[in-house]
Structure 1
Amino acid sequence: MTTFDDRERSYETKFALDAELRFKAEARRNRLLGEWAAGLLGKEGDAVRAYAMTVVTSDFEEPGDDDVYRKLAGDLEGRADEKTIRTKMVELMIEAKKQVIDEAR
């Protein structure tokens, strides 16, 4: 095996790991968003977990974050504006990435 083959395999492995971590971080962010939104909606207990899962599954509708935003914007109408929701999405993505990386260590 050549050094080139080793390097290629290494890049492929890193790409796969990065994709897996990105997927986990996005799912975690969406769960955290669901928990945040559930609080704004006055949900408690098991209803928080159930609502958070609807936010997580809303991300499977199309690539990108717009499907999650639309879900939250529709559910939080009158409780949170676009800027608030999008800011929270960014904040919780940072938090989700930290959590996923810490768990991977």
Structure 2
Amino acid sequence: MTTFDDRENAFESKFAHDEEMKFKADARCNKMLGLWAAEQLGKTGDDAEIYAKTVVMADFEEPGHEDVIRKVAADLEGIVHPDLVRSKRNELLIISQAQILKDT
């Protein structure tokens, strides 16, 4: 194998690793957002965990995170403003990224 092939493989591996870390951070963030939203809805225990899983699953509806924002904002309509949902997700994403980095 040439040096060029080695570098290409290294870049591909790094890209795959970075994408995996991004996926894990997004999933963790969405779960944390779901748990926060469950708390706003008065859900606790298993009900909160089940609700958080529905938030994580909502992220598979379309690319990006707008599907998650839309779901949580609709569920919290009349309780919190959609801008707060978006702001909370941004805050939790930073926390989840730090946790993922710490775990690796």
Normalised by the length of structure 1, the TM-score is 0.97
Which residue of 2 is the match for residue 72 of structure 1? 72
Amino acid at match of 2:52: A
1:12-91 pair list within 5 angstroms: 12-91=12-91
Which residue of 1 is the match for residue 10 of structure 2? 10
Q: Alpha-carbon deviation of 1:55? A: 0.2
Give me the whole-angstrom Cα distance separating, in 1, the residues matched to 2:3 and 2:48: 51
Runs of 5+ consecutive residues of structure 1 not aligned to the other structure: none
**Number of residue pairs matched?**
104
Amino acid at match of 2:15: F
Give me the whole-angstrom Cα distance separating, in 2, the residues matched to 1:46 and 1:94: 26
Give me the whole-angstrom Cα distance separating, in 1, the residues matched to 2:73 and 2:91: 17
Give me the whole-angstrom Cα distance separating, in 1, the residues matched to 2:69 and 2:38: 14
Q: Alpha-carbon deviation of 1:101? A: 1.2
The runs of at least 4 aligned residues of structure 1 exceeding 6 Å deviation read none
Normalised by the length of structure 2, the TM-score is 0.97
Structural RMSD (CA): 0.6
